[in-house]
């Protein structure tokens, strides 16, 4: 089968994460991603603690809403979620915990 001129498909998280970080260079975007993930985790805890499972429908709105505002208005790029949904979701949590622990910084540039 002939090679296409599309970019090669990423096949592992180890390959994906550096790409993910390159798409998250804007400080405001990182703050929005962090905030969305923080609120998502908080909502999960509160929903389970109070048995309000209907609130869990808000998880994608909160998680993706903050992140996509960061991409469309600040990064000016397309979220990797559309092409690599699982790697992107995992990367959101990795970046969140790296920002929380200081392994990554909010300000990159």
**4-23 per-position pLDDT tens digit:** 344 678 999 999 999 999 99
Secondary structure element (H or E) that encloses residue 16, with its range: helix 13-22
93 touches 33 (CB < 8 A):
no
Question: What per-residue confidence (pLDDT) applies to 3?
Answer: 42
Q: What is the pTM of this model?
A: 0.88
Give the mean pLDDT of the chain.
92
Note whether 96 and 103 are within 8 A (CB).
no
Alpha carbon distances (Å) from 46 to 36, 39, 43, 87: 15, 10, 5, 26
Quote the pLDDT of residue 105. Answer: 97
Residues 30-64 have pLDDT tens digits of 999 999 999 999 999 999 999 999 999 999 999 99
Look at the chain and count its residues: 109
Within 13 Å, how many C-alpha atoms sit on residue 12's CB side?
A: 2
Q: Greater confidence, 82 or 1?
A: 82
Q: What is the per-residue pLDDT for 6?
A: 40
Q: What is the reported pLDDT for 9?
A: 87
């Amino acid at each position: 089968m002939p090679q296409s001129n599309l970019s090669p498909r990423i096949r592992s998280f180890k390959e994906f994460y550096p790409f993910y970080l390159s798409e998250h260079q804007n400080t405001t975007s990182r703050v929005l991603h962090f905030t969305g993930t923080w609120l998502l985790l908080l909502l999960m805890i509160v929903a389970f603690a109070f048995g309000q499972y209907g609130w869990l429908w808000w998880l994608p709105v909160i998680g993706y809403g903050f992140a996509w505002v960061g991409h469309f208005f600040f990064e000016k790029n397309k979220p990797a979620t559309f092409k690599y949904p699982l790697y992107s979701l995992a990367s959101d949590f990795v970046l969140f915990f790296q920002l929380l622990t200081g392994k990554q910084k909010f300000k990159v540039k």
